[in-house]
């Protein structure tokens, strides 16, 4: 079932690859991609014809914030990972939720460690949607997180504790 | 007035059976009217101090002039030693809150929209807010001030979490009052919304007191990061006493599009002029509401009634001064104990 979702997720991107020369104004949001807009435009179809997502649903573009090799490689290409499944009943990802993402054509599991959308009081709202990649056993792929992590995740337990041990800074 | 009421009473007396009772009531009314007028009359003759004036003005007015004899001296012969101890002593107190209270503590004002009003709830919330203010120091701050907030955090090693940032928004009424801080940490913009009266907030400190040109600084999200980068170990900047709050007039140059909102439509003063495309101009024209400047009813609905504001702020001012005095006395007690 996951594979099917994956296929559906990627297909619209292929469909739009013909519009490479379209103006960059169509990029929906200043996602992390915006830092390297030129390169993105040259290498892949990174604009979206849909409205900006206010929440993490399928096909939401994320930013990998750990120093895993695959995350770095994806950033090198300029193709952001996309969410293809959220592991909860509502299919909407919130802080600390587990998601399935496509990175360089591979399926990887990840945890959400920062969101752009409005948060509750005392919970930080980040400028980008951040994820940290983990393998199937829940062990993080990288060994360092180079952005601040919300300290409200500390109480959640589970596999998140392994991730939070990599964090250098909490807000 | 009294005579007319008496006439009415007379007619009523003729007409109804229960006239006696009514007549008595009316007479009471008349009596109260006349007595009140008798009471109020001598007060008017007295030297009435206008409490709206500042202390300096009052002092200037009361200062002895060269060709001036104090009324006590003039009326000395009217006073008899037998009357001593009978005159009314008025307590002179400045009870009206200063006008800037509205801007220093805007959260005490109720929601101007009447459908959200609940006077009992507001009163109770005000009491709770003042109680909270007696415990922690909530300083004066504005949008654009740089602040540090300490929040209790059960999972961090020191049990507290401190965040420093520029205040980009402030709002809410009553206990729900909030402000938003923004900072850039490790190259990532972070914003945190804090509630002023949240019991987990342990301390609020203003590191640099200043204002900006706009009411909300959400456009800093689309501005270069250096405009919202502040060091966590920043030393507080002190202003000279009684100095006006400085206004920071820096103009921010926005990043190229895409933006979070269409900033060109917001009539912002704190950003450098945007190069408008024809499409933007069209959008501004379509969404402009020039008639709102002349909509008196809208303005009335969006602001709290001045009398109401004065009564609320007076209450707050009184309570605040009470808290201050209590604090001072407790401080002296502590010093003595040491």
Read off the pLDDT of residues B77-134 as tens digits, 9 standing for 90 and up.
Answer: 777 777 666 666 665 555 677 768 888 999 999 999 888 999 999 999 999 999 999 8
Let me know if residue B95 belongs to a domain: no
> How far does the CA of residue A29 sit from the closest CA of chain B (Å)?
6
Let me know if residue A170 belongs to a domain: no
* Minimal Cβ distance to B186: which of A28, A122, A169: A169
Distance of alpha carbon B330 from alpha carbon B317, whole angstroms? 20
CB of B27 closer than 8 Å to CB of B3: no
Let me know if residue A15 belongs to a domain: yes
Q: Which 3-state string (H, E, C) describes chain A?
A: CHHHHHHHHHHHHHHHHHHCCCCHHHCCCCCHHHHHHHHHHHHCCCCCCCCCCCCECCCCECEECECCHHHHHHHHHCCCCEEEEECCCCCCECCCCEEEEEECCEEEEEEEEECCCCCCCCCCEECCCEEEEECCCCCECCCCECCCECHHHHHHCCCHHHHHCCECCEC
State the total domains in chain A. 1
pLDDT, greater one: B313 or B15: B313
The CATH number for A106's domain is 2.40.150.20
- Does residue A159 carry a pLDDT above 90? no
- With CA atoms as reference, report the closest residue to A129 among A144, A150, A143: A150
Hey, what are B237's tokens? 């900047």
Record: contact B178-A121, CB cut-off 8 A: yes
Let me know if residue B314 belongs to a domain: yes
Mean pLDDT of A56-79: 92
Residues of A in contact with B185 (CB under 8 A): 147-148, 169, 171
Q: Is A28 on the interface with B (CB under 8 A)?
A: yes
Tell me which residue range forms the domain holding A86: 2-164
B182 and B296 housed in the same domain: yes
Hey, what are B112's tokens? 């101007």
User: What digits encode the pLDDT tens for the residues A79-125?
Assistant: 899 999 999 999 999 999 999 999 999 999 999 999 999 999 999 99
Name which of B148, B162, B188 to mutate to probe chain A: the one with the most chain A Cβ atoms within 10 A of its Cβ.
B188
Let me know if residue A22 belongs to a domain: yes
Which of A16-20, A50-54, B95-99, B304-308 is modeled with the greatest confidence? B304-308
Mean pLDDT of A47-72: 83
Distance of alpha carbon B192 from alpha carbon B10, whole angstroms? 72
Tell me which residue range forms the domain holding B27: 1-36
Record: contact B186-A127, CB cut-off 8 A: no
Which of A27-36, A45-54, A150-159 is modeled with the greatest confidence? A150-159
Mean pLDDT of chain B: 82
> Phi, psi at residue B172, to the nearest 5°?
85, 150
Low-confidence winner among A13-22, B49-58, B159-168 (lowest mean pLDDT): A13-22
> What is the ipTM score, two decimals?
0.73
The CATH number for B110's domain is 2.30.30.790
């Amino acid at each position: 079932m996951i594979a099917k979702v994956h296929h559906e997720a990627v297909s619209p991107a292929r469909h739009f690859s013909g519009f490479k020369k379209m103006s960059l104004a169509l990029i929906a949001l200043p996602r992390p991609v915006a830092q390297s807009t030129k390169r993105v435009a040259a290498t892949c179809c990174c604009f979206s014809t849909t409205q900006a997502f206010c929440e993490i649903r399928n096909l939401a573009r994320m930013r990998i914030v750990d120093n895993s090799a695959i995350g770095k490689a994806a950033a090198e290409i300029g193709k952001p990972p996309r969410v293809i499944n959220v592991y909860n009943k509502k299919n909407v990802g919130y802080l600390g939720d587990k998601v399935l993402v496509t990175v360089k054509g591979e399926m990887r599991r990840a945890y959400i460690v920062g969101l752009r959308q409005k948060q509750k009081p005392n919970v930080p709202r980040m400028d980008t949607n951040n994820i940290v990649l983990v393998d199937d056993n829940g062990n993080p792929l990288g060994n360092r997180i180079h952005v601040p992590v919300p300290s409200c995740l500390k109480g959640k337990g589970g596999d998140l504790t392994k991730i939070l041990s990599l964090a250098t800074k909490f807000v | 007035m009294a005579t007319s009421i008496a006439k009415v009473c007379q007619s009523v007396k003729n007409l109804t059976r229960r006239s006696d009772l009514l007549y008595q009531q009316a007479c009471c009314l008349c009596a109260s009217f006349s007595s009140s007028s008798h009471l109020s009359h001598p007060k008017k003759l007295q030297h009435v101090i206008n409490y709206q004036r500042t202390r300096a003005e009052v002092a200037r007015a009361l200062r002895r002039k060269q060709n001036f004899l104090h009324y006590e001296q003039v009326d000395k012969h009217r006073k008899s030693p037998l009357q001593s101890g009978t005159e009314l002593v008025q307590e002179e107190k400045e009870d009206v809150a200063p006008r800037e209270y509205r801007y220093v503590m805007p959260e005490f004002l109720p929601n101007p929209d009447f459908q959200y009003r609940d006077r009992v709830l507001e009163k109770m919330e005000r009491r709770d807010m003042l109680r909270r203010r007696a415990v922690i120091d909530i300083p004066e701050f504005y949008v654009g001030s740089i602040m540090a907030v300490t929040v209790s955090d059960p999972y961090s090693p020191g049990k507290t979490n401190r965040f420093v940032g520029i205040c980009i928004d402030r709002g809410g009424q009553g206990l729900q009052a909030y402000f938003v801080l923004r900072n850039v940490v490790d190259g990532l913009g972070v914003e945190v919304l804090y509630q002023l009266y949240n019991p987990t907030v342990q301390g609020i400190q203003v590191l640099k007191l200043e204002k900006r040109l706009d009411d909300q600084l959400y456009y800093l999200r689309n501005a270069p990061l250096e405009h919202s980068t502040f060091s966590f170990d920043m030393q507080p900047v002190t202003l000279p006493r009684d100095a006006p709050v400085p206004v920071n007039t820096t103009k921010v140059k926005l990043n190229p599009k895409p933006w979070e909102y269409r900033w060109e439509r917001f009539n912002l003063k704190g950003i450098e002029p945007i190069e408008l495309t024809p499409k933007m101009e069209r959008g501004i024209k379509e969404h402009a509401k020039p008639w709102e400047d002349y909509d008196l009813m809208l303005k009335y609905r969006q602001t709290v009634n001045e009398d109401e504001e004065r009564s609320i702020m007076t209450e707050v001012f009184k309570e605040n001064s009470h808290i201050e005095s209590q604090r001072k006395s407790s401080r002296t007690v502590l010093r003595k104990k040491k």
